[in-house]
Amino acid sequence: MRVALSARLSAWFDQHRRSACRSYMEMRRRPLATLMTLLVIGITLALPASLLSLLKISQTMTGGHQQTASISLFLKSGIVNEKALRVATDLEQRPQVDHVELLTSADAMEEFRGHSGFGDALDALDENPLPNVLLIHLLPDSSSIEIRKLATELKEESVTDSIGYDQGWIERLQAITQAIRRAVQALGFGLGLAVMLIIGNTIRLEIMNRREEIEVTRLVGGSDNFIRRPFLYIGLIYGLFGALIAWLLVSILLMLVSGPLGRLAELYDTTISLTAFSLHALLLLIPIGISFGLAGAWLAVSRHLSSINPE
């Protein structure tokens, strides 16, 4: 049979469209069973996905600090702005220092007034009790030993009143986050396998239900690929819709925590956009859902299809 390539191609697309449609209709025929399966898949995928989202949010909040580890150098009260600037320029020559920012006592006052709500009380003061501060931003690759060494040196400087650096807790938090992240990834892998088995089992039942159709298709010369195709589409559809349900669940969760998280983010001087995390979860879930769906379908099909032969 010689047919133009375009016709062959359109026939090929038609075969796929037909398989996909049949699979979809087949699922629609048993809406309750299909919905239950989809919910199970959705919840299973939502669990690791929401944990990952929360982790990512916490990393974003603490991540800023990791990039620019800094030391606050509180200057003695007699040091005027010009002198402070000169000290800053000197400090910038040091190897670990990226740049130095001067936070004058006036700036600090403004900021304190804004945040603390002690505005009226501060007005009552004759003079500004806050010192000039140098914010020393370090190079991102500075090790904690280097930072500690630098801090000790700075403490000895004549202009220094005191030194503030608080790196430890961020490191600890990051270590904990890292550990949790690993655990969540492992959990996610396990639950992904579970999804694969759920879909595989659903498709095994589907194959049994459509035994007669498979036999007749073999009788009229249907290839294994042809017979396999609708079942792979079922896996794909389950994976895709399961992922969408999971995404919906994650989004609901993010909405629920958005209030407290927003306040938390304020304390860290950052804002977080939950839409971004929701979108990130979607982009993560859809390919994962589809691949586990297809894998589950493939598993079921390769195990059970060959056992069905026409009598």
Task: Provide the binding-site residues for another protein, judged by CB under 8 A.
Answer: 3, 7-8, 10-12, 14-15, 18, 212-213, 215-224, 226, 309-311
Taking the least distance from each CB to another protein, the nearer of 8 and 182 is 8
| Minimum CB distance to another protein, residue 219 (Å) | 6
Beta-strand ranges (E) seen in the chain are 70-75, 97-103, 133-138, 160-164
Contact in structure between 100 and 134 (CB atoms under 8 Å): yes
Taking the least distance from each CB to another protein, the nearer of 10 and 81 is 10
CA 179 vs CA 59, 92, 175, 183, 184: distances in Å = 12, 35, 6, 6, 9
| Minimum CB distance to another protein, residue 191 (Å) | 35
| Minimum CB distance to another protein, residue 213 (Å) | 6
d(CA 149, CA 163): 12
d(CA 295, CA 238): 11
Taking the least distance from each CB to another protein, the nearer of 219 and 276 is 219
| Minimum CB distance to another protein, residue 294 (Å) | 22
Output phi, psi for 272, to 5 deg. -120, 140
Taking the least distance from each CB to another protein, the nearer of 153 and 224 is 224
Taking the least distance from each CB to another protein, the nearer of 31 and 221 is 221
| Minimum CB distance to another protein, residue 301 (Å) | 16
Q: What is the DSSP letter of 76?
A: P
| Minimum CB distance to another protein, residue 217 (Å) | 6
Taking the least distance from each CB to another protein, the nearer of 78 and 221 is 221
DSSP lists the bridge partners of residue 100 as 136
Query: HSE-up of 188 (CA within 13 Å, CB side)?
Result: 18
